Structure 1
Amino acid sequence: MNLKENVMAVYHGEQPDYYGDLMAAVEFIPDPLFIQDALLPQDGQEYMDSWGTIRIFLPGAPGPHPHITRDNVVIKDIEKWEEQLVVPSIEDLDWTLAREVASKIDRNEKLACFFYPGGLFERSHFLLGMETALMNYMEYPDEMKALLRVIADHKMAYIRRVAEETQPDIIFYHDDWGTKQNLFLPPRVWRELIKPLQQEIADTIHECGMIYMHHADCILEPIAADLVEIGIDIWQGVIAQNDIVKIQEITDGKLAMIGGIDGPKIDVENITEEKIREEVRRAVDTYCPGGRFYPSIPNGICFREWNNDIFLDELSKYGREYAEKHPIA
């Protein structure tokens, strides 16, 4: 099997040659909106994105982040959000590079993937600030619902445009709904405000003939069944702090998952090679029996080069050994 055939075998619950990270089989199509908003100089200076949020990229940081103050926050009063929000146009973006890259991807060998960050929850706290957003979800649900409606409509229009311009195999949608301890919002609030719109987004992705892969490297266990109801095809970023075996039982094989290897646990100094290999084998042995599982580090890599080399070597060896010793009937 080539890379695509192998990961799709896992996706369909069929026998693969080996178990490994689905992300090794994708090629990314550059997103003109992401390039405009998030590919910033690593100089610690302030830059405004297309929605008006100020971001900075500090020297030595892994990536840019919002830098929101009382003075620069986009929405200062949730009851007057319509007066303060300017929704960016998607009509004047340059798709030349995206179309060029998409046309060169060998779709027989690889999956064409479009990375789409800034989901409903993430965009809401970029516009309001995290603390204010969390309070508004509880205290001003009607206003938040109306704001999220506008964001969702923009996202669906953009997804349709992405499909028209580049026709990816996968939309890699990004929205962290929690931390390593719990969800940001109570499940009741998430179900009332986020879930219905997220299902519309999922429907749009599917109507365009694409797989919906959702990144969230956090706790999602309390809403695991909801992920299936929404129509998420693949959950990428499944951290080991979730009870993954329980989630596999709850979702009854309807949700493919990528993750399970505890990256922070093995991406440390003075760890032994055997400890790294042991964690890889633990994840494979524990989660692959549940089916449709891609063992990986949720954020993709160890940042320490030596640790990453050992991790990749063990995943390559043991992922193949496990597949050979545990054939799917």
Structure 2
Amino acid sequence: MNQRENFFAMIEGKKPEFIPNIMELYKICVGGADCADQPTMGGIDVFGVNWILTKEGEMPEPNKFLFDDIADWKEYVSFPDVNTLGIEQAAKMELEGVNRDEVIINVYSPTGLFERLAAFMGFENTLCSLVEDPDSCREFFEAFADYKIACMNRFIDAYQPEVITYLDDLATANGLFMSPKVYREVIKPAHQRIIEAVTSRGVIFCQHTCGKCEKIIEDYVEMGAKIWSSAQISNDLEGIQEKYKGRLIIEGGWDSSGPASYIGASTEAVIDEAIRCAKQYGKYGNFILFPTLLNENGNSLFVGDSRIGPMLEAWHGVEKL
């Protein structure tokens, strides 16, 4: 099996021949998101939020909010016309020379419902708003879901992807930012519509949520997500793998807070962590390795890293099932 065939065996609940990793499995496409959501190299996005680029990633400019009161959101948020974003041109550039018979096209859609509200008004205001004014929050989430759905339909038309990865970090290393009840009552209805819009077009939905979010994994599966990324070890990953085998693929497994993720981590530490992931999670047949590897220039998956080659060589020695 090649990467593509092996992946679809996993999606169909069959036993794969080998454990895939995101570096060889996917052609990850971010150009559409640059246009519609969040510029990957920093700068002002289509909503007027200024993103600051650091070696650890991007963040909205600190203490610079569009509004403080969620009830006022309509006065400050203007949704762009998706016809003017340049998504088609981005797709043409990113797909040039890609062998679609070998790899999976995975289009990223960052800055999901919760993250977008936090980008507009900060985490503290957002978390208070979820409790103090859930009606206004629901109204915002539904409106923003409409925009995300319009963008994702454009992504599907332009890229014809097998997977769309929707990124919305709803948790810390210790637990959810909000209670499961608040998630289900305030965010989930709009989230459900996004998932249905993607899956109704025959595209696999991957839910990216970092942190300890295991209390709502059942919700993700119920709504139609087939992949959970980047599943971190603060969750009971093996228990989740066993419970949802044939229904959900775990993409992650890397100890993103441990020594292998330190900027100065040795090649040996990186290799050891990859082998641990293969042995601990690969045996279940529903696992994709997603390493969290950083260097002084940023995320190694996007900026390159001399440690990746030796890690992949070692990975190929243990990936077979």
TM-based fold match above 0.5? yes
Query: Residues of 1 paired with 2:104 and 2:265: CA distance?
Result: 37
Radius of gyration: which is bigger?
1
What code does the residue aligned with 1:319 have?
Answer: E
In the alignment, is residue 11 of structure 1 matched against residue 7 of structure 2?
no
**Equivalent of residue 88 in structure 1, options 66, 80, 89:** 80
- 8 Å CA contact 1:253, 1:292 repeated in 2: yes
TM-score (norm 2): 0.86
Query: Residues of 1 paired with 2:80 and 2:173: CA distance?
Result: 32
SS at match of 1:236: strand
Structure 1: 5+ residue stretches without partners: 42-46, 324-329
In the alignment, is residue 110 of structure 1 matched against residue 103 of structure 2?
yes
Query: Residues of 1 paired with 2:161 and 2:197: CA distance?
Result: 13
- For 1:228, the equivalent position in structure 2 comes to 221
SS at match of 1:87: coil
Query: Residues of 1 paired with 2:84 and 2:288: CA distance?
Result: 38
The structural deviation recorded for 1:103 is: 6.2
Query: Residues of 1 paired with 2:45 and 2:254: CA distance?
Result: 34
Q: 1:30 to 1:309 in 2, by over 3 A?
A: closer
Kindly report which structure 2 residues correspond to 1:104-253, keeping only aligned pairs within 5 A, or say none.
104-253=97-246
The structural deviation recorded for 1:260 is: 1.0
- For 1:326, the equivalent position in structure 2 comes to none
- 8 Å CA contact 2:11, 2:246 repeated in 1: no
- For 1:55, the equivalent position in structure 2 comes to 51
Q: 1:39 to 1:289 in 2, by over 3 A?
A: closer
The structural deviation recorded for 1:7 is: 2.4
**Equivalent of residue 294 in structure 1, options 274, 288, 292:** 288
The structural deviation recorded for 1:31 is: 2.7
In the alignment, is residue 266 of structure 1 matched against residue 260 of structure 2?
yes
- For 1:44, the equivalent position in structure 2 comes to none
- How many positions carry a matched residue from both structures? 309
Query: Residues of 2 paired with 1:25 and 1:272: CA distance?
Result: 22
- 8 Å CA contact 2:267, 2:310 repeated in 1: no
What code does the residue aligned with 1:134 have?
Answer: L
Query: Residues of 2 paired with 1:266 and 1:68: CA distance?
Result: 29
What code does the residue aligned with 2:52 have?
Answer: I
CA RMSD for the aligned pairs?
A: 2.4
- For 1:67, the equivalent position in structure 2 comes to 61
The structural deviation recorded for 1:170 is: 1.1
What code does the residue aligned with 1:10 have?
Answer: M
The structural deviation recorded for 1:150 is: 0.6
Residue range with higher mean Cα deviation, 285-294 or 108-117: 285-294
Percent identity among equivalent residues? Answer: 28
What code does the residue aligned with 1:38 have?
Answer: P
Residue range with higher mean Cα deviation, 306-315 or 87-96: 306-315
TM-score (norm 1): 0.85
Query: Residues of 1 paired with 2:218 and 2:58: CA distance?
Result: 32
- 8 Å CA contact 1:195, 1:230 repeated in 2: no
Residue range with higher mean Cα deviation, 31-40 or 211-220: 31-40
Cα deviation code 1:211-236 (max 9, x no counterpart): 11122222111112111011111112
Query: Residues of 1 paired with 2:217 and 2:140: CA distance?
Result: 25
SS at match of 2:84: coil
Cα deviation code 1:254-311 (max 9, x no counterpart): 11111112143323457683x65544343323323333112332x3x35485654553
What code does the residue aligned with 2:217 have?
Answer: A
SS at match of 2:17: coil
- 8 Å CA contact 1:234, 1:257 repeated in 2: yes
Residue range with higher mean Cα deviation, 89-98 or 101-110: 101-110
- For 1:327, the equivalent position in structure 2 comes to none
Structure 2: 5+ residue stretches without partners: none
Q: 1:34 to 1:244 in 2, by over 3 A?
A: same
Q: 1:296 to 1:33 in 2, by over 3 A?
A: closer
Cα deviation code 1:63-92 (max 9, x no counterpart): 3310142xx411232222222221222121
Query: Residues of 1 paired with 2:306 and 2:156: CA distance?
Result: 39
Query: Residues of 2 paired with 1:230 and 1:207: CA distance?
Result: 12
